[in-house]
Structure 1
Amino acid sequence: MKKWLFFLLLLVVFLLSACSNNDELSGKTFDISVVAMSPNDTSANYTPVMTLEFSDGNKVKNTRDDEEGVYELKEDKLVILFKNENEHLEVEFTLKESDKEFSEYSAEISDLDFQMVDSTQVSKYKGLYQKLWDNHFEIIER
């Protein structure tokens, strides 16, 4: 009986680990870039706003500003949350396949939330929040 219970428990552990390790972003790095058209509208410039390193445990790091947070990827939505004791920044991107050969995804911000507890303190996320007001981004794998 004990052997049967042990094997059943082992099977459940393997199934749970297989189901939770299906994150296609883990181990990858992407530039989240603003698309700016040139004055004559014949070419576009891509300026990175942040560089995101995704890792196991749904952790994400913005290497441009040394910010660590968490993320969730569900279907066509990527939600990123950075927070500390004074503020939090939550960004929800709606993703679609990019039509550009050098870009993995095209993205638009579907929700952007920034909150500060004490506005007299120096903000770590306000600058990034302001950069994200642009609505269209290309997500380019590095």
Structure 2
Amino acid sequence: MEIKAIEASQTWEIRHEVMWPDQPFDFVKLEEDNFGLHFGAFEQEKLVSIVSCFIVDDEMQFRKLATLEDFQGKGIASQLLKYILELAKEKHLKKVWCNARTNKKSFYEKFRMTDTNKTFTKSGQEFTIMEVLL
């Protein structure tokens, strides 16, 4: 597996297929995509997992961490998350956070992320804000 920087547009298909298949394709495009850092995990040159990072001041929010269904459960998203956490440390950021689907909370807890108990619902999905201080 190889992790490398990608264009925002390369994330959209996986975002749509994995996270919001019942929504229109444009639903997965973020207004701030042009200002983010986007990374992909590749298996034999096939893009299989993606994440988008947005840095403001000394914090980084990551969004849309998603892995194609056939590649889930193989540790690929974990490697991608480790990669961006290391990037945040290299940039001397103080906090990394995300809006996690509540049913995925335990995944993020493996990376020392804690639940802020700030929750919300978007398009029928429940989310909680998870964070880790670096």
TM-score by length of 1: 0.30
TM-score by length of 2: 0.32
Question: Which of the two has greater helix per residue?
Answer: 2
